[in-house]
Amino acid sequence: MFKNVFRSGCLVRTAHVILTWLTTLILFLHNTDLRKNEERGELVLPVLFGTLVLLSIMLYFAVSLMDPGFVLSDADAKLSPVDGGELEKMLPQNTEVPRQRRCGYCLLLQPMRAKHCQVCKQCVRRFDHHCPWIGNCVGERNHRWFLLYLCIQLLVLVWGLQNAWSGITFALTWRQWFIQNGFLLGAFGITVVFSVVVLLLLGSHLYLASVNTTTWEFMSRHRISYLKHCDSEENPFDRGIMCNLWDFFCICRTVAWETVYSRASPA
């Protein structure tokens, strides 16, 4: 399930953890709402905030080190009633299934919606994108966990913004004000930047999940063999918002997308 921690993404992960805990430490050491709650003996909110920070880091490593759905052999690309899960059982089998192709890099059969990642050097099922932030691909097996991580991370960042703002104090001169609030201002600025990035990522991925498409398919549909003949508004994998979200978050098995695709293809 997990890959070697000590690979190229190790430095990015280390920097992420250090920055997270350093910012958290600044919020607890300055005269923020968290610090005031501690001094009054009201530990519920400080403990809850620390727990959310720890949870966000654990989810970060889970998504970062998890197998995103690597295609390891030709057997991984073959349709199976067991691997196909609920979706395959619900859909008709009497239409023509698009022919699978061999990857030009690793020479393995590519399941539909899979793509070869040049960074990871492997094909990934339901490839979304390679994320340099986590140092891993986002694919069929870790995409839902990636969204859960973004949700927790955004909650931590917004709460951190509120606490950083609450700790900023006033002074008689600008120089004294910067000296008093320098670390908090740095933490506030970092938190603002990450909040904007995470908010945009979360919004875009929730939209993609609701229409059952991926970042790669959304950006490159004119070059993808099974989508380029479709109209700009047509998506053969779309089953409606509620069904799409249910499948995305609750279907934890590998899906035979060739079968799903056949439902929308002419007989």
What pLDDT, in 10s, does the model give residues 133-149? 999 999 999 999 999 99
Residue of 129, 141, 151 whose CA lies nearest to 2: 141
The pLDDT, as a whole number, for residue 137 is 96
pTM for this prediction: 0.85
| Residue 206, H or E segment | helix 174-210
Give the separation between CA 107 and CA 120, rounded to whole angstroms: 15
Q: What's the chain's length in residues?
A: 267
CA distances from 37 to 22, 162, 168 (A): 20, 14, 16
Q: What is the pLDDT of residues 74-127, one digit of tens each?
A: 776 665 443 444 434 433 444 455 567 888 888 888 899 999 999 999 999 999
Other CB atoms within a 10 A radius of the CB of residue 195 amount to: 17
Q: Is it the case that residue 4 has pLDDT exceeding 50?
A: no
- Per-residue pLDDT of 174-211, as tens digits, reads 888 888 888 899 999 999 999 999 999 999 999 999 99
55/148 Cα distance (integer angstroms): 11
What's the rounded Cα separation, in Å, for the pair 63 and 137?
A: 9
Position 182 scores a pLDDT of 86
Q: What are 21-80's pLDDT values in tens digits?
A: 999 999 999 889 999 999 898 899 999 999 999 999 999 999 999 999 999 887 766 654
Where are the domains positioned within the chain? 10-264
The pLDDT of residue 58 is 97
Element (H, E) at 95: none
| Active-site amino acid positions | 131
